[in-house]
Structure 1
Amino acid sequence: MMGGQKAPLAFTTINLHVGTIRIYDFDGIRLHAYDTKDPFGDESYLFETEHELIGLESPMFLNNLTEYADYVNSLGKPLNHFIMAYHPGGSNAFIYCRTYATETTKKSISEGGSIKTLIDNFSAAFGNHLNPYIPAITNIIKAGRITIGDIEFVVKDTKESFDLEIPAINAVYTHMVGNRVHNILESPEQIDAMIGQMNDYTKKKPSLILTTHDIPATVEVAAEKATYLKTIKELALRSKDKTSFVEQASATFPEYDGRDYLKMSAAALF
């Protein structure tokens, strides 16, 4: 086990006008998971302690930001901290918070960085329906244990940004796991690294896996994702070009969402 108590998997659901909140209660911590239902299936998180709120990842579409800000206000506690890993766009709605990211993230969200480029592309595609603003980082964090507000996190650097462990609720956070959602994959080496990550999750058995592109999942999703990644790697190695790769992957995983992510993987792999 990673440490911390076994999470209660039951949750309370609140349907907002656009998205849905799932609330998980732990000993002294309440997790609010916001399913935006936006075109990318994005998810944002709030950790609620006795005294304050800590945000993780921001919604980016304006209709989500409006109702999310209203929901934050309804909780009656200050949102003092905002952790920006892979989805910092729209965070100016919470510009009064202290913001946290690694040097790797800072590079990725700066001009020419991979995350900044994606946000710019999304902004061009969705126009004034989206808030692409990225606030300044007030607190640079490093790999290892760090306390933010009332909660201890374990920061794990990645090529593009960082993942988290949250021992107090026996949960992990990573950018893209998702149950039956395609991943953005850049190389066979990255795929191997993700397979290793999923195998590590299976071994450590976190009670919840949090991701930015799906609702919270139990650890069983890690084994399924590892199998998916192994198959995708095999398809990439035997496909003659990106078109045939997308066709074969789509046929092999017809129930998977995120076809645009699959096309992005094809562009990177071929």
Structure 2
Amino acid sequence: MKKILWIVSLLAGSGVFGAQGAAALLKGEVKTYDMDGFRLHVYLTQDALGDATTVVEGRDGLVILEMPLFKENLKEFAGYLKGLGKPVVKVVADYHVGGVADYAPGQVVLVEGMSEFAKGAVYGGMLEGFKAAFGDAIDLREHAGHEEVPAEGRRIWAGVAFDFSRGASSDFPASSVVIGGRVCYTHFAPAKAHLSPLQITGPEAVDAQLAALKAAAASGCTLFVGGHGAPATPAEVEFQIAYLEKLKSLVAENADAGALAAALSAAWPGLPGDPAALAAVLYR
């Protein structure tokens, strides 16, 4: 339980997931992007977990990736959706299973493997930690049912193509999603920052995340979004690839976490994030 509460504390305090940029339109902030054949709305909740919700507005409906978890965000997000004037076709609970209880079983989508994982000790323990930290402020009601889609494959919803592929092997058993051939969705949006120990959970995760980022870079997408963090450009993806490649060499050159943290700070002075927290998980 102490480990789970540490994860919750890390999520709440991480500079990587802090509020981004412009003045808030709601409690959180909405960024919109006109793409080829659809409009993208990214709702940055600015909650304690730094969550983000993506809405794909197609010609005849809306597809949501990752609902907000906090009740006050859910309320204002519902108002925003109502203003769009189109029905919700699907709600994809990819990496985060929460906030979906008010949707019908035919609307809720889980990627294969996540239903069982969400009931397991790791994810279940994390949710218990959230309950302990946030109490009634979050919505963890169970959904009545859901559609399950393969971790790899294509779905057409609201006239937009959603191409699912397996995410980083070190992450939750969910999928990265290329939306309309233009937008790449991953668990964490890329950022010019030290990577979080929630992404790099140990030495094996470095190569896993590097492979996932290289796949994202090769997707041809021009915008990168996630369940945490602000929308990013290919420049942020290339930065994180370079960061991880440098990280591998620094791990080989430094004998302990303290030395690695100092090396990371020297390599990227002033970079947001916590190099000491990242270094700590690489020398267990």
Q: Considering the TM-score relative to the shorter chain, is it more than 0.5?
A: yes
Which residue of 2 is the match for residue 27 of structure 1? 36
Counterpart pick for 1:103 among 89, 104, 112: 112
Q: Do the aligned partners of residues 14 and 263 (structure 1) sit closer, same or farther apart at CA in structure 2, a change above 3 Å counting?
A: closer
1:52: how far off? 1.1
CA distance in 1, matches of 2:135, 2:118: 19
CA distance in 2, matches of 1:93, 1:266: 40
SS at match of 1:122: helix
**Which runs of structure 2 are paired with 1:58-69 in the superposition (5 Å)?**
58-69=67-78
Amino acid at match of 1:121: G
* TM-score of the two chains, using structure 2 as the length reference: 0.77
CA distance in 2, matches of 1:45, 1:251: 35
Which residue of 1 is the match for residue 18 of structure 2? none
CA distance in 2, matches of 1:226, 1:79: 35
Counterpart pick for 1:139 among 124, 147, 155: 147
CA distance in 2, matches of 1:238, 1:118: 34
Q: Do the aligned partners of residues 188 and 134 (structure 1) sit closer, same or farther apart at CA in structure 2, a change above 3 Å counting?
A: farther
**Which runs of structure 2 are paired with 1:168-183 in the superposition (5 Å)?**
168-181=180-193, 182-183=195-196
Which residue of 2 is the match for residue 187 of structure 1? 202
Unmatched tracts of structure 1, length 5 or more: 1-12
Q: Deviations over 1:157-184 (max 9, x none)?
A: 2342111112x25111111243134232
Counterpart pick for 2:272 among 252, 256, 265: 256
CA distance in 1, matches of 2:117, 2:137: 23
Q: Do the aligned partners of residues 62 and 245 (structure 1) sit closer, same or farther apart at CA in structure 2, a change above 3 Å counting?
A: farther
SS at match of 2:101: helix
Q: Residue 105 of structure 2 contacts residue 144 of structure 2 at CA under 8 Å; is this kept in 1?
A: no
Which residue of 1 is the match for residue 61 of structure 2? 52
Counterpart pick for 2:135 among 127, 135, 142: 127
RMSD between aligned residues: 2.8
CA distance in 1, matches of 2:218, 2:181: 17
1:210: how far off? 1.2
1:248: how far off? 5.6
Q: Deviations over 1:200-237 (max 9, x none)?
A: 33344311111122111111111101122233344555
CA distance in 1, matches of 2:106, 2:123: 21
Amino acid at match of 1:60: L
Counterpart pick for 1:88 among 93, 97, 121: 97
CA distance in 1, matches of 2:114, 2:140: 16
Answering whether residue 172 of structure 2 is matched by residue 164 of structure 1, we say no
Q: Do the aligned partners of residues 155 and 203 (structure 1) sit closer, same or farther apart at CA in structure 2, a change above 3 Å counting?
A: closer
Q: Deviations over 1:30-55 (max 9, x none)?
A: 11100111123211011111221111
CA distance in 1, matches of 2:220, 2:84: 31
Q: Residue 65 of structure 1 contacts residue 93 of structure 1 at CA under 8 Å; is this kept in 2?
A: no
Unmatched tracts of structure 2, length 5 or more: 1-21
Higher alpha-carbon deviation: 140-149 or 216-225? 140-149
Q: Do the aligned partners of residues 264 and 228 (structure 1) sit closer, same or farther apart at CA in structure 2, a change above 3 Å counting?
A: closer
Answering whether residue 212 of structure 2 is matched by residue 197 of structure 1, we say yes
CA distance in 1, matches of 2:120, 2:141: 12
Amino acid at match of 1:86: Y
Q: Residue 257 of structure 2 contacts residue 276 of structure 2 at CA under 8 Å; is this kept in 1?
A: no
Q: Residue 86 of structure 1 contacts residue 115 of structure 1 at CA under 8 Å; is this kept in 2?
A: no
